[in-house]
Structure 1
Amino acid sequence: MTSVDFHFDPMCPFAFHASRWIRHVRAETGIDVDWRFFSLEEINRRDDQQQQQLHPWERDWAYGWSLMRIGALLRRESMDLLDRWYAATGHLLHIDGGKPHDPDVARDLLVRLGLDPGLLDAALADPTTHDDVRADHDRVVAAGGFGVPTLFVLGTPLFGPVLVDPPEGEAAVRLWNMVTEMLEFPRVYELQRVKGPADAAAIGEALAPYLRGRDWQSVNRGEVVDLSGLETERDT
């Protein structure tokens, strides 16, 4: 049975839609999915004369980072709990346009999952949850990664697939096969579809809930991204 380490930031719409796809693959093939973390807040953090930002682990509350600390605590109990929590958190932001990054909303979401809302406070009170998130994040960076979704398959890191309309059933498996067959060609680094106006419109429609729910500026490799044109961001 193949296993995949799926690195995500709960704030990233592209990671969430890819997670919907990988769940369909799991249902069809029985692969194991181990959920791992990655922080867009940290990878896109600026520390220069014009703008200095605290590391997310230095803040009382950091949107994605603090949520992933909850996830880290849940993962210690079971991967299934983290799976359910990420699915619910992602659905709230990226499908419903809600705000799971608001602490009160995050507590309510835990209740809706049948969990103790005090898990949020327990995660923030436990400094080792920082360590768990940072270890996952540093693994991607050390491999040369820069964003999510990043998948480790048989030890090889792959960025993507970046999609907004995840295939289901046999189509999901075909995409999985296409992605994993890249492992046969270790010097193929990137293949990107050119996006025309119809693609931009489809991406804009898919990202509309995320745009309603977010309370931050989207950033691509240190540069603020204007989403008025609704172009795909590589790592936000």
Structure 2
Amino acid sequence: MTADTPLEREEVPFWFDPLCPWAWITSRWLREVEQVRPVRADWRIMSLAYLNLEQREGKGLSEDYRALMERAWGPVRVCAAAVEHAGPQVLGGLYTAIGLRLHNQRRRDDPAVLPEALADVGLSASLAAAAASTEFDQQIKRSHHEAFDEVGLDVGTPVLRIRGTALFGPVITPAPRGESAGRLWDGLALIAETDGFFELKRTRTRKASFE
């Protein structure tokens, strides 16, 4: 191998629900990591609605959060419809298009978000109708189980699989940039390779920042 030989990129499965602000921030960090380490994100969907309302049977949810979870089906169903229509390679761009509108632009209640995001990646706005359909729910659940059968039900999103180990997180705000993003990746890779590692956490004291 010469100095000019490109490094083989490590695939990193990343499970997200488009509605989650913390997963969104982590996804932007992973985009930064792609620029400074030989890493490539493999975007996959999970469902907070399925996790909280079905797998956890809605236990302990307030009425407001339960209503939010019911609405959470919409964006992830549209992602599943897009994958069915155009293949999994569409997910990265579609997630970015949805996330920018939901989180950075704070348009969570705007019905135009999903049709606009679909148009951004060259897909028909008609796929937004999938938000109200159960047609793709089994595909969502299959993808969801790929992560949560391994990582467990006491976590949420994001979930990454790093070198064969599924981990919840990192939960960060704001997203580190440049070499700072790379150093965080290096630390997580070491953790993932440590047999028997399960948990590292502290109480969040900041609101999500999308800057």
- TM norm structure 1: 0.70
Q: 2:52 & 2:105 partners in 1: Cα distance?
A: 26
Structure 1 residue 169, shift from structure 2 partner: 1.2
* 2:191 alignment partner in structure 1: 182
Residues 1:122 and 1:37: Cα distance change in structure 2 (over 3 Å): closer
Identity percentage over the alignment?
Answer: 32
CA distance in 2, matches of 1:110, 1:48: 31
Q: How does 1:84-163 map onto structure 2 within 5 Å?
A: 84-99=93-108, 102-121=110-129, 127=135, 129-143=136-150, 144-145=152-153, 146-163=155-172
Which residue of the other structure, out of 3, 13, 17, is the alignment partner of 1:9? 17
Gap change, CA 1:37 and 1:47, over 3 Å in 2: same
Output the CA distance in 2 between the equivalents of 1:188 and 1:136: 24
Give the superposition deviation at 1:187. Answer: 1.6
RMSD of the TM alignment (CA)?
3.1
Aligned length: 195
The answer as to whether partners of 2:75 and 2:131 remain within 8 angstroms in 1 is no
Matched, 1:173 2:182: yes
Q: CA deviation at 1:123?
A: 7.1
SS at match of 1:98: coil
Whether the aligned pair in 2 keeps the contact of 1:38 and 1:147 (CA below 8 Å) is: no
Q: Distance in 2 between matches of 1:113 and 1:171?
A: 30
Does residue 81 of structure 1 match 2:90?
yes
Q: CA deviation at 1:165?
A: 0.8
Q: Which secondary structure state, in structure 2, belongs to the residue aligned with residue 188 of structure 1?
A: coil
User: How far apart, in 1, do the equivalents of 2:123 and 2:58 lie?
Assistant: 41
TM-score, with normalisation over the residues of structure 2?
A: 0.78
Change (3 A) 1:116 1:62: farther
Specify the SS of the correspondent of 2:167: strand
How much does 1:66 deviate?
2.5
Instruction: Could you tell me which runs of 5 or more consecutive residues in structure 1 were left unpaired when the two chains were aligned.
Output: 210-236
Q: How has the CA–CA distance of structure 1 residues 126 and 47 changed in structure 2, closer, same or farther, with 3 Å as cutoff?
A: closer
- 1:150 is displaced (CA, Å) by 0.5
Instruction: Report the secondary structure of 1:206's partner residue.
Output: coil
Partner of 1:71: 79
1:147–1:159 CA contact under 8 A, matched in 2: yes
Shift of 1:20: 0.2
Alpha carbons of structure 1 residues 139 and 130: separation in structure 2 relative to 1, 3 Å = same
